[in-house]
Amino acid sequence: MALTQVRYAPVMETGEELRFDHGEHTPARLKRQLARLASMTAAQMARVSRDALRAAGARKDHFVVLAALAESGPVSQAGLSDRTSVYKSDLVSVINDLEDGGWVRRSPDPADKRRNVITITELGERRLAELDRVLDGVNEHIMTPLDRDERAQLFNLLNRINIHLATAADGTRPPGRKIP
C-alpha cells in the first residue's frame, strides 16, 4: 500500500501545525525543547499510523489486541487489558469489532463461567499479518530519511530514554520540582 494514496478528512492537527521548526517564526527557546520535538514527532507518526490503519479498515487497538492474542494465546478480557494497556471499558468495543469481523472468538472460561476467554481465529491471524504489513509500510515511510544503522540507533536511544523515564516515574520526582 502506498502511503501517499491515503487521504482522509483532516484531523485536529495538520502536518504543518505539527512541524517542529517554522524557521525564523519559531522562538529559539522552543527549538531547544526536546520534549516538544518528541511530542510533535510522535503526533505526526501517530497520524500516519492512524490513517494507514483506517485505510485498512482497522484501528490501533485492533492491531494491539490481535498481536497480544497471537503471542499469548487465549486470555481473559481482564488479562488482555493488562497485556495491552487498553482500558477495560474500551476493550469491550474493540473485542466486539474483532468478533464481528470473525478475527477473535469470545467464549466462557471453562474454569470460571463468569469470565470470557478471547481467542484469535485463523482469520484473525491473517488479519494480523495484513496489519503487520500495513504498519511495516508505515515504519518504512517514517524512517525513510535514516539509513539502516541510524534506524537501529534511533530505536536503541529511544528505548533507553523510555526506560530511564519510566524508572524515574516509579519513585523519583521530576528535576527542578520541590517536594511540598
- Rounded to 10°, the helix 34-55/60-72 angle is 80
pLDDT of the residue at 170: 74
What amino acid occupies position 127? R
Residue 9 predicted with pLDDT over 90 = no
H/E element, 12: none
Lowest mean pLDDT among 3-17, 24-38, 75-89: 3-17
pLDDT of the residue at 36: 86
pLDDT of the residue at 166: 86
Residue 33 predicted with pLDDT over 60 = yes
Lowest mean pLDDT among 12-16, 66-70, 86-90, 128-132: 12-16
pLDDT over 90 percentage in the chain: 60
pLDDT band at 5 (very low <50, low <70, confident <90, very high): very low
pLDDT tens string 108-161: 988 888 899 999 999 999 999 999 999 999 999 999 999 999 999 999 999 999
Q: What is the DSSP letter of 17?
A: T
What amino acid occupies position 123? L
End-to-end CA distance of the chain: 54
Residue pair 21/31 in contact (Cβ under 8 Å)? The answer is: yes
Domain boundaries, given as residue ranges, for the chain: 60-125
Average pLDDT, the chain: 85
CB environment 78-100: b (16+ within 10 A), e (fewer): eebbebbebeeeebeebbebbee
Cell numbers for 13, please give them: 492537527
Nearest to 1 by CA among 146, 143, 145, 139: 139
State the DSSP string of 70-97.
HHH-SEEHHHHHHHH---HHHHHHHHHH
pLDDT band at 42 (very low <50, low <70, confident <90, very high): very high
pLDDT of the residue at 29: 84
Residue 178 predicted with pLDDT over 90 = no
What sign does the dihedral 14-16-19-22 (CA atoms) show? negative
What CATH topology corresponds to 60-125? Arc Repressor Mutant, subunit A (1.10.10)
- Report CA-CA distances (Å) from 125 to 33, 65, 113, 138: 42, 11, 26, 20
Report helix, strand or coil for 118.
strand
Lowest mean pLDDT among 3-17, 28-42, 83-97: 3-17
Rg (CA), the chain: 20
